[in-house]
Each structure stands twice: as structure tokens, then as C-alpha cells.
Structure 1
Amino acid sequence: MTITAPAPNPAEHDVLAIAARRTPLSKRHPSLLPLARFVHRERRHLDWLLSSTTWATTRSEENLPVRVKQHGSLLLRQLGEAEMWLQHNKITNLRLAAAETDGIVVRPGETFSFNKVVGDCTARKGYVEGMRLSNGEATPGVGGGICQLANLLHWMFLHSPLTIVERSEHSFDPFPDNGRVLPWGVGCSIVYPYLDLVVRNDTPHTFQLRTWVGEKHLRGELRADTPTGVSYHVDARGEEFLRVPSGEVYRRNEIWRTLIDTRTGTAYAEECVKRNCALVKYLPEEHRIRDVAQE
């Protein structure tokens, strides 16, 4: 079996390096934040305008014949102390965003951009205040909650041969694992237009997204025109909570993907697709925390 993994890097070094990172200029000088956002927005819009990328924009209401992956995520969960009205509003936002991604076809050589397809989630388009994460805290914001749709899409993409070009993870672990179904560390952070989820189709297959809001779940399917010949198992490994000398607790893990030949059922390759390390915003059970000494 082929195993692909990053170069060894002890967990303690990961966490201490992240804990010692310098605070971004925009956080040390909040007055610069609007300028930083403007620069990022214009840079992204310019990239969309001038890029030679062929963007996926075609939509089809007729299902492609092969279902590659399906997934559903619960619409309402109690997340820490977050107010439930934000989650109820989130459903409105998810209905609007899921309608934008539903039916999108990604042909060979095309690239799918979440932000380019969904667009800016403004009140003018019908989006309402939902739950957003700011520095790991739940706050109201127009369009809040659409990250759940990006999370669902990313999970399905991980179970396909599509190439993940861009994905921004949350820099905090904001809530305990109450009712968690997917591994921690496979979510996405979406901020229009500069934090995006982007995948490219480097295969000979054509793929299609189907997304909708059900009674209790956000639903999604990734479909294809022909069988891909491979299935995927995705899991988290090396999960642990580490406390640095400052008293902060960080969570780390690795996301691994096993490739399985669908004709024989044989696993023939494993790859580490992501290493995660984030500041924990709640207090884990003490017995789960390991102290890390400063070098």
C-alpha cells in the first residue's frame, strides 16, 4: 500500500509554534481592518476577472447517473452557549445558498468556487442574521451559517478524486463535540470573497452537486456521469489536546484518506490530507489534556 504523509513534525513543535505566532497587524491595529478586507476583496475579484481558470457555472436539474457520495448534516444543534434563534435563522440562509449550488456541473478541466457560485450573502438577497464565528465566538451576522453548506461540500469532495485547491479552516475549536458526526478538522471557513472553498476537476469524469434543505438535515449528493472506480474512507488520527505554558489549550489531529478499489474492495493507498491545530475556546475534560513543556 502506498502511504503519503507530510514530513515528521512533533505535535509539541506544532502547537508551540502556533502559540508563539505574532498577532496579525489588523488585530493589533483594528482601524486597519477595513483596509485589509478591501485589499483582499479587490485582489480576489481581480483574480476572478483575469484568471485563465475555467469556472464551473453550468447547472443541470437532471441527475447524473452515478452517486459518488451523499451526506446529511443536522440543521439544529446546541453549540455551547450560542442562542438557538441564530440557528433557526441559519436555515433560511442555507436554503438560499443551497439553491445556488444545487445542480452545478463540474466538467473535466473546470474549477468550482463556493464564493463565485453562491456570491455575497447580503440582506438584499434575503439572507438574515445567523451564527458567525469571530475569534472563536458565536456572533450574529447576515448570512451566518452558510459554512455548514461548505462543510458538507468539502466532506463530499474528500470522498472523490476532485482536487481541493483552496480551503480555509477555522483557527479555533469553538464548541465541545456534542453530537459530532464528522471528524473534527474537516470544516471550512467561508468569508466572501477571500476565504473560499475551491476544487478542480482533473479527471475525465463530469461531476454534479445536488444540495437541498430537508426537514431536519441539510442534504447533499455528489454525482458523476460514470463510475470513478475508487471509493474513499476518511478518518482522524493522532487526536489530542495540548496545554502550552501560557495555559492555552490547543487541539490537533491529522485527517487521513484511504483509497479503495471498488472492483476488488482492496485498499491500495493512504494519504494525509490535512494536519490541524487550533486554539480551544472551551475547557475539555482535564484527563484529555496533555501538558507541553517550553523548550
Structure 2
Amino acid sequence: MKPIKRSKLRIWAGTRVFRAQRYWQWWFGGTAIAKRKQTERLSVLVSEHQTPLFRVLKDVDMSLQHDKVHNLRLAIERLNGLVIQPGETFSYWRTIGKPTKRKGYVEGMVLFYGSFKKGIGGGLCQLSNLIYWITLHTPLQVVERHRHSYDVFPDANRTQPFGSGATCAYNYLDLQIYNPTDRPYQLLLHLTDEHLVGQWRSNQPHLYRYEVYEKEHRFELQYWGGYVRHNQIYRIVRNAGNEIIADEFIAENHALMMYEPLLAEPMADKRYATRNK
């Protein structure tokens, strides 16, 4: 887990190779990609969550967060109302497209090798994080998700377990979600003055309830002097009678810490919930 320092040339070349591989997958992969949107809401709310648009972060200009909101609004226009039919796959970047100045995107905060910088379309990770989290409270299957490699900010007011997000970078770090059920699922997104809000809806009553929690959460001092944070994400599945029918492993996370951890005591397993029916 020791940080690897790569040259600008290596980063530039690697990015283009990975993007070319993704384009090849999109054109020739044969995956049925969800493309249809509808304005009418499906009748049943399956899961819902909201995250704050503005946080006071050390050394981060608040103007970048206002610009992030502008970028989120443009991306939401592409995603809101999208319906994933049975057998289809949702692709975050295939649906949004490349964020560019020509499309109206502005510079926002982009996490970059444990720090941050300005970048066109910055801030869209908040949207992929939210979609991933509400998906964990549905029967939909996450078939591609990338964890954050760096833990940049402390846990002040955290309402979700560490590592429950999905980082994104056009187009090779994608979030893809497959619908294995026999019913459609509709993604609804909107902004309030203070929050980004997301829902998954369907057209039939929901049979299960989900509780997401973490195990094995720990900080480890490395031989080279830094700390690495670890945990595992699980979810409990309950039926209509509130009986536990599954305890599923979701993901394992490892991230380089960019702040000094508090190592006062071991951390117990924690459970986190979102609104789901």
C-alpha cells in the first residue's frame, strides 16, 4: 500500500490506454445498456438517501463546492428518470458522457493521488457515491465499482461506513449496475438547496429490506510511516416477516490515509441504514 509516484507522462499514457479499452468494451462488448428515460414516476419507492452539498473542508475553497453543484445539475439531467429494464445494465459514464466545457461543465474539486486539484466536471463522485449507496439497498447487482484509494478527509458527521462510495473517472472508472429481476427500476435524482437526493423506484411492492454494515474496521501503521485504513462492507437481507435470509459480503476496502488517525480503541461492527421498503 505504499504510495506509488508516477510521472505525468505515465499518467497521461495510462489514462488514454484505459479509455481506449473502455470505448472498445462499449462498442463491441454486447452489453444491453439502459438508455430509456421516463418522466412518470414508477409507483413504489425502493430506496432513498440524501447527502449534503456543502461541507467545510480544510484548505478547500467553498467556491469549488458551488461549482460542483453546477456540475451535478448537468449530470442529473442525463440520469434522472432512467429506467433499467430486466436484463439491462446501467453505466454511469455511458449515460452522462464526457464532462467538457463545451457541455457547460466547470472546474470543481477532483481528488488526485491523495490530494485534490481543480478539474472540469469536478464533484461528480458525490453522485456516483450516492447511486452506489442506494443501490446496496435494492436487489440490483453492482457489476463494476471502484473504491477510493485514499482516505482524504476525517469522519466528521459521517452517516455511512467508510468505503461505501464509488469513485469515478471518465470513462475507465465506471459504476455499472445490472438488473437481474423481473421488474424495471427507475433512478430519480434531484437537488435541494442543501442536499443531493436519490431514489430507486419500481412498479411492484418490494419484498426485502437491507441493512448495510461494516466489519474488521481498523487502522494500520505501515513500515514506511503512513497509515492504511481497512474494512469490509456487508449487508443483511430481511424478508417481509423481518427474518434474516442472508448476510452478504459486499466489498473490501483499503485506503491510504491522508490525516492522522485516532487509535484510542478498536471499532465495533457498525450498521447503517437508508430508507428502503
TM range (shorter): over 0.9
User: In 2 relative to 1, CA 247–268 (structure 1 residues): closer, same or farther, beyond 3 Å?
Assistant: same
- For 1:231-250, what aligned pairs fall within 5 Å after superposition? 231-250=209-228
Residue type of the partner of 2:250?
A: V
Alignment length (residue pairs): 267
- Structure 2: distance between partners of 1:281 and 1:288: 20
Amino acid at match of 2:251: K
Contact 2:145 2:166 in 1 (8 A): yes
Aligned to 1:214: 192
Aligned residue number for residue 255 of structure 1: 233
Does residue 68 (structure 1) correspond to residue 63 (structure 2)? The answer is no
**Correspondence list, 1:3-82, <5 A:** 18-19=1-2, 23=4, 27-82=5-60
Q: Structure 2 unaligned runs (5+)?
A: 268-277
Q: Is the 8 A contact 1:80 1:176 kept in 2?
A: no
Which deviations, in whole Å up to 9, do the C-alpha atoms of 1:231-272 show, x marking residues without a partner? 1100122211111222111111111100010x2111111011
Shift of the alpha carbon at 1:100?
1.1
1:59-110 deviation digits (Å, cap 9, x = unpaired): 0010001100011100001233222111111110111111111000000000
Q: Distance in 2 between matches of 1:64 and 1:187?
A: 26
CA distance in 2, matches of 1:289, 1:94: 37
Is residue 2:253 matched to residue 1:287? no
Pair 1:278 & 2:250 matched: no
CA RMSD of aligned residues (A): 1.6
Q: Per-residue displacement from partner, 1:12-52 (whole Å, max 9, x unpaired)?
A: xxxxxx34x8x3xxx44432322221111111111101121
- Larger CA Rg, structure 1 vs 2: 1
| TM-score, normalised with respect to structure 1 | 0.87
Q: Is the 8 A contact 2:145 2:174 kept in 1?
A: yes
Question: Does the CA contact (< 8 Å) of 1:70 and 1:222 recur in 2?
Answer: yes
Q: What is the aligned partner in structure 2 of residue 118 from structure 1?
A: 96
Would the aligned equivalents of 2:110 and 2:119 in 1 still touch at CA under 8 Å? yes
Q: How does 1:56-205 map to 2 (within 5 A)?
A: 56-205=34-183
Instruction: Find out whether 1:266 has 2:234 as its counterpart.
Output: no
Q: 1:112, CA displacement in angstroms?
A: 0.2
Structure 1 residue 227: Cα displacement = 2.2
More helix as a share of residues: 1
Is the CA contact (8 Å cut-off) linking 2:219 and 2:263 kept in structure 1? no
CA distance in 2, matches of 1:28, 1:110: 37
Distance 1:231 1:153 in 2: 17
1:131 Cα shift?
Answer: 0.8
The 3-state SS of whatever aligns with 1:164 is strand
2:275 alignment counterpart:
none
Instruction: Provide, for residues 112-170 of structure 1, a one-character-per-residue CA deviation record: whole Å limited to 9, x for no partner.
Output: 00000111111111111111100111211110001101011000110011111100111
**Is contact 1:79–1:178 with CA below 8 Å preserved after alignment?**
no
How far 1:226 moved relative to its partner?
1.1
Distance 2:36 2:133 in 1: 22
> Secondary structure at the residue paired with 2:108?
strand
> Quick one: distance in 1 between partners of 2:237 and 2:258?
34
Structure 1 unmatched runs, 5+:
1-17, 291-295
Identity %: 38
Does the C-alpha gap of structure 1 residues 245 and 32 become closer, same or farther in structure 2, counting only changes over 3 Å?
Answer: closer
Q: Which amino acid aligns with 1:240?
A: R
More divergent stretch after superposition (64-73 vs 38-47): 38-47
**Kept in 2: contact 1:241–1:289 (CA 8 A):** no
Q: Which residue identity does 2:255 align to in structure 1?
A: A
TM-score by length of 2: 0.92
Distance 1:274 1:80 in 2: 29
